[in-house]
Amino acid sequence: MSLEQLIELSRLYGSNPQWVLAGGGNTSVKIKNTLYVKASGTTLADASEATFVKMDRKKLAAVLKKEYPAEPAERESQALQDLLDARAEGQELRPSVETLMHELLPFTFVIHTHPPMVNGITCSQQAEQAARTVFGDEVVWIPNVNPGLILATTIRDAIKEYKTQHGTPPWLVLLQNHGLVVAGDTPEEILARHRDVASRVKAHITRFPELDTVPYDGRQAETLAYQIARAADELVPGTPDHQAVFICNREVFRHVRSAKAFTPLSRAFSPDHIVYAGHRIPFLTQTDDFGAELAAVRRELEDFLRETGRIPPVVAREGLGVFITGRNRRMMDAAAALFLDAVQIAVYTQAFGGEAFLPPEQTDFILNWEVERFRTRVSAGE
Ligand SMILES: [Zn+2]
Digit-coded pLDDT (tens) for 252-305? 999 999 999 999 999 999 999 998 999 999 999 999 898 999 999 999 999 999
Return the closest-CA partner of residue 377 out of 330, 339, 333: 330
Query: In sequence order, which residues have a C-beta less than 8 Å from that of residue 321 and are 6 or more positions away?
Result: 216, 221, 246, 247, 248, 252, 253, 256
| Distance between Cα 231 and ligand 1 center (Å) | 33
| Res 73: pLDDT | 83
181-203 burial, b if ≥16 CB within 10 A, otherwise e? bbbbeebebbbebbeebbeebee
Task: Report the range of poorest mean pLDDT among 170-174, 175-179, 272-276.
Answer: 272-276
| Distance between Cα 23 and ligand 1 center (Å) | 9
| Distance between Cα 251 and ligand 1 center (Å) | 25
| Res 379: pLDDT | 43
88 has pLDDT over 50:
yes
CA–CA gap between residue 184 and residue 110 (Å, rounded)? 7
Return the closest-CA partner of residue 133 out of 120, 145, 148, 121: 121
Return the closest-CA partner of residue 33 out of 53, 65, 49, 56: 56
377 has pLDDT over 60:
no
| Distance between Cα 112 and ligand 1 center (Å) | 6
| Res 366: pLDDT | 85
| Distance between Cα 58 and ligand 1 center (Å) | 24
CA–CA gap between residue 260 and residue 281 (Å, rounded)? 13
What is the pLDDT averaged over residues 114-124?
98
| Distance between Cα 309 and ligand 1 center (Å) | 24
Per-residue pLDDT reduced to its tens digit, 40-69: 888 999 999 999 999 999 999 999 999 999
| Distance between Cα 79 and ligand 1 center (Å) | 18
Per-residue pLDDT reduced to its tens digit, 25-34: 999 999 999 9
| Res 1: pLDDT | 67
| Distance between Cα 151 and ligand 1 center (Å) | 11
316-349 burial, b if ≥16 CB within 10 A, otherwise e? bbbebbbbbbbbeeebbbbbbbbbbbbbbbbbbb
| Distance between Cα 24 and ligand 1 center (Å) | 6
| Distance between Cα 115 and ligand 1 center (Å) | 10
Residue 380 — pLDDT band, cuts 50, 70, 90? very low
64-82 burial, b if ≥16 CB within 10 A, otherwise e? eeeebeeeeeeebebbeeb
CA–CA gap between residue 250 and residue 213 (Å, rounded)? 6
Residue percentage of the chain with pLDDT more than 90 = 82
Instruction: Determine contact, residues 140/204, Cβ cutoff 8 Å.
Output: no
| Res 371: pLDDT | 55
Give alpha helix (H) positions in the chain.
Answer: 3-14, 57-65, 72-85, 99-104, 116-122, 128-135, 149-166, 187-202, 218-235, 250-255, 259-262, 271-277, 290-308, 329-348, 360-379
381 has pLDDT over 50:
no
Query: In sequence order, which residues have a C-beta less than 8 Å from that of residue 281 and are 6 or more positions away?
Result: 262, 265, 266, 267, 312, 314, 315, 316, 322, 339
What is the pLDDT averaged over residues 143-147?
90
| Distance between Cα 83 and ligand 1 center (Å) | 18
CA–CA gap between residue 16 and residue 149 (Å, rounded)? 29
| Distance between Cα 100 and ligand 1 center (Å) | 13
Q: Tell me which of 3.40.50.720, 3.90.330.10, 3.40.225.10, 1.10.3720.10 is the CATH number of domain 3-202.
A: 3.40.225.10
| Distance between Cα 271 and ligand 1 center (Å) | 8
Residue percentage of the chain with pLDDT more than 70 = 96
| Distance between Cα 96 and ligand 1 center (Å) | 10
What is the pLDDT averaged over residues 179-186?
97
Helix (DSSP H) and strand (DSSP E) numbers for the chain: 15, 11
- CATH superfamily to which 218-379 belongs: Class II aldolase/adducin N-terminal domain (3.40.225.10)
| Res 97: pLDDT | 85
* Comma-separated ranges of CATH 3.40.225.10 domains in the chain: 3-202, 218-379
| Distance between Cα 177 and ligand 1 center (Å) | 10
Output Rg (C-alpha) for the chain, integer angstroms: 21
Handedness of CA 91, 25, 377, 246 (dihedral sign): positive
What is the pLDDT averaged over residues 165-183?
97
| Distance between Cα 110 and ligand 1 center (Å) | 12
| Distance between Cα 50 and ligand 1 center (Å) | 20
CA–CA gap between residue 363 and residue 250 (Å, rounded)? 29
Per-residue pLDDT reduced to its tens digit, 341-350: 999 999 999 9
What value does the mean pLDDT of the chain take? 93
| Res 196: pLDDT | 97
| Distance between Cα 215 and ligand 1 center (Å) | 35
| Distance between Cα 269 and ligand 1 center (Å) | 12
Could you tell me how many residues make up the chain? 382
| Distance between Cα 26 and ligand 1 center (Å) | 7
Looking from the CA of 53 toward its CB, the CA atoms found within 13 Å total 28
| Distance between Cα 25 and ligand 1 center (Å) | 5
Residue 370 — pLDDT band, cuts 50, 70, 90? low
CA–CA gap between residue 369 and residue 382 (Å, rounded)? 18
Instruction: Determine contact, residues 173/139, Cβ cutoff 8 Å.
Output: yes
pTM: 0.93
| Distance between Cα 222 and ligand 1 center (Å) | 35
Handedness of CA 159, 163, 166, 171 (dihedral sign): positive
Residue 169 CB neighbours (<10 A):
15
Residue 71 — pLDDT band, cuts 50, 70, 90? confident
